[in-house]
Structure 1
Amino acid sequence: MIPLIDVAGGPAARGEAYGRQAKSWIDTAIGFYRADFAARGVEWAEAERIAESFRDGIEAFDPAIATEIEAIARGAKVPVAAIVLLNARTEVLFWHASGADAGPALKPGPEAEECTSAIVMPERSAEGRLWHAQNWDWRPDAAAHTVAVRITGAEVPDALHFVEAGQLARHGLNRCGIAVTAMGLHTVGQYGKPGIPSPVVRRRVLQQESFGRALGEVFRSPASFSHALMISHGEGEAWCLECTPDRIFWLEPEEGVLSHANHFKHPAAVAADIERNLTRVPDSLYRDGRVARRLKAGDKASLEDMKRAFADRFGAPDAVLRHPNQRPGSLLSATVYTLIMSPSEGAAQLSIRPWEGTDFQHFTL
């Protein structure tokens, strides 16, 4: 089971309530990443210095979100830079400062989050509703600081977020029927570019009431690292936006299914030869393909079909469902959770450490 944290009110009120209620898990997350950075030979103070540049960018981009980050830190009694780091940890982990005067740098590592996501459209669904699912693959110990945050009674739509404690967003849905999941991508020459951390972009997506504006937030948000965002609406819309710091490519469902893993799929992106992840995670090809084929097979795809697709162990340990296993660069990786959302119902179910056979925990708005 993961904890459910309820917050309400404006950015300062909900941020402080979040930080206060989630303090023990935030402390665990900070300790986790402090050790992770130390294992790379990077002092925490240096990581916080890099995070400050992202803090300035967030403040300029969205002052309300910057206020919420400060309030989370205040509620949890931790430095603001630590909360920024939790939200910009992918960008900071892969940061590569350029120029002789840039100071010490974090060299890009060989690892990133390795996830699989799929959306089944209502016309393809046995239940007649859109299903939006994700296997989030990262360090298995991250399960110890994973929480659900439910926002209600705010100036933004009610929403459910499934996050590492201290983060603004990762995967989730809102009361307007919009849902988002994300996967890490990797391109050449993208290091050292300022931009907005991915969790901030995802929070902006779920703060919108209309699907068009939710998509627009991605196009208006300058990314500093590549990612693929799967964005759906419960009434039957779904798009995948493959984002780099320089360009955005978009994909739509085929045969009622939209799927993605950790490589670029848009023909223009493939032709541009910007893909750099497949040398590290070639299994991304068959993870994406196997989930898509399973959900397209037969007459209709049911909720149980979704669960089976995301429990696929072909190619283990490099499977859709990952057991803890050493990846290149000595990274220990596993599926932290399987998440299946029904945006039209404002409902989700999540299995933490699914490789242990854990039951699904149910959440609603």
Structure 2
Amino acid sequence: MTTNTELYIGLMSGTSVDAVDAALVAFNEADSTPNFLALYSHPIPENLKKNLLACNQQNTLSLDTFCQLQVSTGRLFSETAQQLLKQESLQARDIKAIGSHGQTIFHAPGIGMSLQIGHPAIIAKQTGITTVADCRIDDMALGGQGAPFAPAFHQSLFSEPYQNSVAVNIGGIANISLIPAGDSQEALLGFDTGPGNCLIDEACQRFFNQPYDINGKLAESGKVHRELLEKLFTDDYFKYPAPKSTGRDKFNWQWLNQFEIDTIEPSHLLATLTELTAITIAEAISTKKDYSKGNIWVCGGGAYNQYLMQRLQAHLPNANVQSSSKKKINPVAIEGMLFAWLAKQRLEHRPVNLKDVTGATRNAILGGVWQP
């Protein structure tokens, strides 16, 4: 690293609620190019995970519980950042800022509010590092969906000079970024397509006593239940036009239970849920002309599910579906990198190019700043 390089940390816990990821990112001051350096993942303690997931399946929460979760999650995020520093033999003074997403417990674009837990004041004070957080509400205050935020950052990573490309993030919820060719006048677009890993993971935990479907082997051993799949597709969300966003408060086990799944063999259920994820992503990409023919870069935990990747390729036969690791970018690190990048944009007072993605009336400077 040169003297013209700044280090940032991005903290992310997604809708899978399995771990807090801390990404160490170096930015060259001359061109703000993000360079991934290291990742540390801190598992979320089971009791805290249980309480956070419960928030996604209810719309009421006591103030006492809310405050306890703010503190517990804030401390967990702080500890994750500190463990990354320790892993990389760095001190707080070496880091320009932390960008923290927090843990989403309620996302309500219809109301114009999104709640992320894990207070940034705790992170800033415990780490001794300036912390940028609470980014989504700035977009929502301008009429935007407050999600997805990844497209603007995906553009900086995956844009190609002469052809359109797509970035697909498959976390608990899946979202896509439709990235126009470098010489195109088209707008950058992106939206949440629906469930990613969230229902697949929960089925694995309920029926197979494992946290997720390793390489998709369990789903691959089953058969798609066509009648159930057709029922799942009747949900109105899949018919909504973009811009749109969703969360685990929408697509959860209560949502799935309404389709009378009790008589379906677990491996067949997993195969069906995996097919739901693959088809909804593929159909969302195919609605935009010429985006289903080029490179499709997959990031998030779903990039490691080989069967899901195969099903996505099967539904996009003219595209080249591949993991972001082919670009030497850790698939799990990208969302952490995103929030490191958002922290840099905020400190430099740069608006983020999202209005065509989220539907906001204009691009905005995102997030608040908490000093140590």
TM-score, L = length of structure 2 = 0.31
Structure with greater contact order relative to length (CA < 8 Å, sep ≥ 6) = 2
